Amino acid sequence: MSSPEPAPLTAAGTAPPAEPEPAGPETFEQAFDGDSLVALRHSVGAHGSALGMTDGQADDLMLIVGELAANAVRHGPGHGTLRLWRTGTEVFCEVSNPGAAPDGLADLGRRPQPSTSVGGRGLWLVRGFSHDLRIGGTADTTTCTAVIDLSRPVRPVVEAADPIR
């Protein structure tokens, strides 16, 4: 089953690299909604070893999935689909939900929010715990794909927007 390539939401003329299509027994797909987010994270944690991840990498993947799925529930229609697969040394974590992406979504999470801000840190965390975050969509679907390269360490972003007082 092949899905259409998401249209990039980045600057005109600069398309993100296409993700390889998932294949093999390592492919994992699960629908979710607000009531199933905890179960989704547990399923992802259990599936991490099938993808060849260390315990630490699987923990990072659970955080990424939790943030992307929670965004789909909170800012989207309340449900979505997770797909995980591995190609070479890269694990792809794709969360999609019905509905067009809002303008500016691709640029969110590039900087931390001020400490006085309520929310707004999910995509920033995802960017810090993955090697790449690709945000795209069509007129009917929003898709966020985080990429973790298992051959490279991830250095989470810890820079604060302003000092904690």
Contact between 44 and 65 under an 8 Å Cβ cutoff? The reply is: yes
pLDDT digits (tens, 9 = 90+) for 10-54: 433 334 445 555 555 568 999 999 999 999 999 998 898 889 999
Instruction: Give the C-alpha separation, 147 to 100, whole Å.
Output: 22
Instruction: Give the C-alpha separation, 44 to 54, whole Å.
Output: 13
pLDDT of residue 101: 79
Q: Which residue has the tokens 């969360």?
A: 95
Q: Where along the chain do its domains lie? A: 26-149
pLDDT digits (tens, 9 = 90+) for 60-89: 999 999 999 999 999 899 999 999 999 999
Instruction: Give the C-alpha separation, 53 to 121, whole Å.
Output: 25
Q: Which residue has the tokens 């789909």?
A: 72
**Average pLDDT over every residue of 86-103:** 91
Please state, for a pLDDT cut of 70, what percent of the chain lies above it.
Answer: 74
Query: Lowest-pLDDT range, 82-91, 104-113, 130-139?
Result: 104-113
* Fold topology of 26-149: Heat Shock Protein 90 (3.30.565)
Instruction: Give the C-alpha separation, 133 to 123, whole Å.
Output: 9
Mean pLDDT, all residues of the chain: 80
Higher pLDDT, 95 or 160: 95
pLDDT of residue 114: 73
β 79-87/141-149 pair status: unpaired
Higher pLDDT, 89 or 108: 89
Higher pLDDT, 157 or 51: 51
